[in-house]
A and B are shown apart, each in its own frame.
Chain A
Amino acid sequence: MNQPTIIKVSGLSKIYKNDSVETVALRNITFEVKKGEFVAIMGPSGSGKSTLMHILGALDVPTSGEYILDGENVGVLSEDDLATIRNKKIGFIFQSFNLLPRTTALKNVMLPMAYAGVDKNVREIKAKKYLIMVGLEDRMEHTSNQLSGGQQQRVAIARALANDPAIILADEPTGNIASDQAEEIMKIFQKLNAEGRTIILITHEPDIAHFAKRVIIIKDGNIVEDRLNGKKKI
């Protein structure tokens, strides 16, 4: 692969201090992700994969070590700069969808573009394009509580694409979805990956990790395995 490196993590550690007790969540983690990769980060609960996801998502900063996302050293940024990074370079997909309640699918997808200062007409055109891409052309004016779990997650995917981010960060995206719909969601991810988008998937389910091209397994804050998925399912 001659693609440019999009994520560069070196010597990353995260230590939580609670009163005088120190909890080490990540120990000296180093890895790289190149543009166009589809990586699943796996691990049992308490392994540190959520902490890693928060740091990769610029929601949290590491205690030590370096995290460079698309050429930007995230570890040294201010709160407002982190907000800008999240807005422009990261597309979040959460386990519990996290759509704005009682707000239409279209408006939900437009929200990150509003924060980015995109012109209102452009926002609507782009939001519609992404909603069509995830197969929700007839659900644009539905509010989030009128949609099924799978549909809500597809709105969330469209929202993640809104600002054309450097990476898509999906945290247990199928955790709250019926299994037949889960596969559809995963196929959308594969399709996006095939279009050249970089996707990081956090999951504890091997079935779901199977859709990715590369698997990183974390245990007790360490990377214990980093391998390519042999069989590709498309």
Chain B
Amino acid sequence: MKLIEIIIESISTLGLNKMRTGLAALGIIIGIGSVIALVSIGQGSQKAVEAQIQSLGANLLTVMPGSQRSGNVRTASGNTTLTLEDAKAIMSSSQITTVKNVSPEFSRRFQIIAGGNNTNTQVYGVYPEYAQIRKVNIASGVFISQTDVDSMSRVAVLGPTAATNLFGEGTDPVGQTIRINKQSFRVVGVTESKGGSGFNNQDDIIFAPLSTVQKQLAGVDYLSTIAVEAKSQDVMTEAQNQVGYLLLERHKLTDPTTADFSIMSQSDILNTASQVTGTFTTLLSGIAAISLLVGGIGIMNIMLVTVTERTREIGLRKALGAKRKTIITQFLVESVILTFFGGLIGMVFGITISMILSKLLSFPSAISMSSVLLAVSVSGVIGIVFGWYPAQRASKLAPIEALRYE
């Protein structure tokens, strides 16, 4: 009997028992559907995180203070090692040829009061370069200017969430006064939204001149970060080295391993984030794979029931001359058809779900061709793996016993 005939016969056999066929395929439909949906959610969130990190500024190096080392002892007094002079040196040094812009930054959380509203928000002391390097756009008013920094003026620029928290929805706070740590500041601008949510809300933020925040609010003379913009993506590593050696020299250190600061490039951050979201995707795929396994066992179950139910038929087929191979093929083909078409339907189902989710959660939808192909071929393999045992059992039935079976 030719394979194509067995396939045609199997399809009509499956068609004779629509309810059971549907239920058997359901496990695979859900399994494949969830694999595709969950993997695309994982990959979508990965892309979303990457896009968000990119939006923080391209070609960006972040210099962060670290604790000082003396010999093998790392002292606990760290985080005070970067100064404004370091930042100025990076900008003006003749050794540095690959840096376009430098933004010295100091941030700390303060209690903010405006009218009756009271909130605790991160306050950034910045130079005007901050807006350019960190891709901050102004929605109304102006950003912190060099004059503001030089004259240590008490002006503030609000992030949109901070503005809403303090002044309510829909009012323009420009020209109003807020109190940061009991000192009054005049609001001169509001920034555009940058997105982000929860603990990582880039919009719940207040900017003020670096000098004002350092001297008048915090009473310190160190920086929390120096953001450095390289001239292009290609010179990132060179810029990282140039800045690193300059700072080592300025801090009178000779061995890079004893550096009291660290320099992260945007790609480092991106890699870290990708690793995290990659783990997340793997986890989701694992869960989906389990549901696929359960679906496969469901197929095996139904096929075993089918073999028992059709014992007489198998006996008859053997009596009429079906060889063991023919019986095995017949049952394998049935289970592969079940899983293959289940896989196709599951694919449509999974793509639909992931598109709906990407709309609802405003993720970029990331249905990769590879995950779709993988899922459908896996479903075919599941048909063979889980159909094998029932098919073997069917083929081993002795024809006399099978014919007598009631």
Contacts and interface: CB of A to CB of B under 8 A. Distances in A.
Given A80-B324, A98-B312, A100-B313, A92 B319 contact: yes
Interface residues of A, number: 26
Given A94-B403, A100-B313, A116 B319 contact: no
A60 B322 contact: no
A115 B319 contact: no
Interface stretch (A63-71, A83-91, A128-136): A83-91
Contacts of A159: 320
Contacts of A120: 5
A83 B323 contact: yes
B400 interface: yes
A112 interface: yes
A114 B319 contact: no
A84 B400 CA distance: 16
B320 A92 contact: yes
A54 interface: yes
Given A84-B321, A92-B320, A115 B313 contact: no
A104 to B, nearest CB: 11
Given A94-B403, A115-B326, A101 B320 contact: no
A163 B316 CA distance: 16
A100 B310 CA distance: 10
Interface in B1-57: 1-2, 5, 16
A97 B322 CA distance: 18
B350 interface: no
Contacts of A163: 321
A79 B321 CA distance: 10
Contacts of A43: none
B375 to A, nearest CB: 33
Nearest to A111: B320
A115 B316 contact: no
B154 interface: no
B319 A57 contact: yes
Main secondary structure of the interface of B (DSSP, over half): helix
Contacts of B325: 80
A59 interface: yes
Interface in B322-358: 322-326
Interface string B287-299: 0000000000000
Contacts of A57: 319
Interface string A135-148: 00000000000000
B403 A98 contact: yes
A98 B320 CA distance: 11
Contact of A102 (B16, B321, B322, B399): B16
A62 to B, nearest CB: 14
A116 B321 contact: yes
Nearest to A85: B321
A80 B403 CA distance: 18
A117 interface: yes
B399 A115 contact: no
B5 A86 contact: no
A133 to B, nearest CB: 19
Contact of B313 (A101, A116, A117): A101
Contacts of A111: 317, 320
A115 B1 contact: yes
Nearest to B6: A114
B106 to A, nearest CB: 82
Given A114-B1, A115-B1, A117-B1, A83 B318 contact: yes
Nearest to B310: A101
A114 B5 CA distance: 9
A159 B321 CA distance: 12
A103 to B, nearest CB: 8
A80 B318 CA distance: 10
Nearest to B322: A115
B320 A112 contact: yes
Contact of A87 (B5, B320, B324): B320
A185 B322 CA distance: 27
- Which of B2, B5, B319, B403 counts the most A-chain CB atoms under 10 A from its CB? B319
A210 to B, nearest CB: 27
B319 A59 contact: yes
B88 to A, nearest CB: 89
B319 A86 contact: yes
| Residue among B5, B320, B324, B325 facing the most chain A CB atoms (10 A cut-off) | B320
A101 B316 CA distance: 11
Given A59-B400, A112-B320, A115-B326, 18 more contacts: A54-B400, A57-B319, A60-B400, A79-B324, A80-B323, A83-B321, A86-B319, A86-B321, A87-B322, A88-B321, A94-B403, A98-B316, A100-B316, A102-B16, A115-B317, A115-B320, A159-B320, A163-B321
- Give the top 4 A-B pairs by smallest Cβ distance, nearest first: A87-B321, A115-B321, A112-B320, A98-B316
Interface of A: 54, 57, 59-60, 79-80, 83-84, 86-88, 92, 94, 98, 100-102, 111-112, 114-117, 120, 159, 163
21 contacts: A59-B400, A59-B403, A79-B323, A80-B323, A80-B324, A83-B321, A83-B322, A86-B319, A86-B320, A88-B321, A92-B319, A98-B316, A111-B317, A114-B5, A115-B317, A115-B320, A115-B323, A116-B321, A117-B1, A117-B2, A163-B321
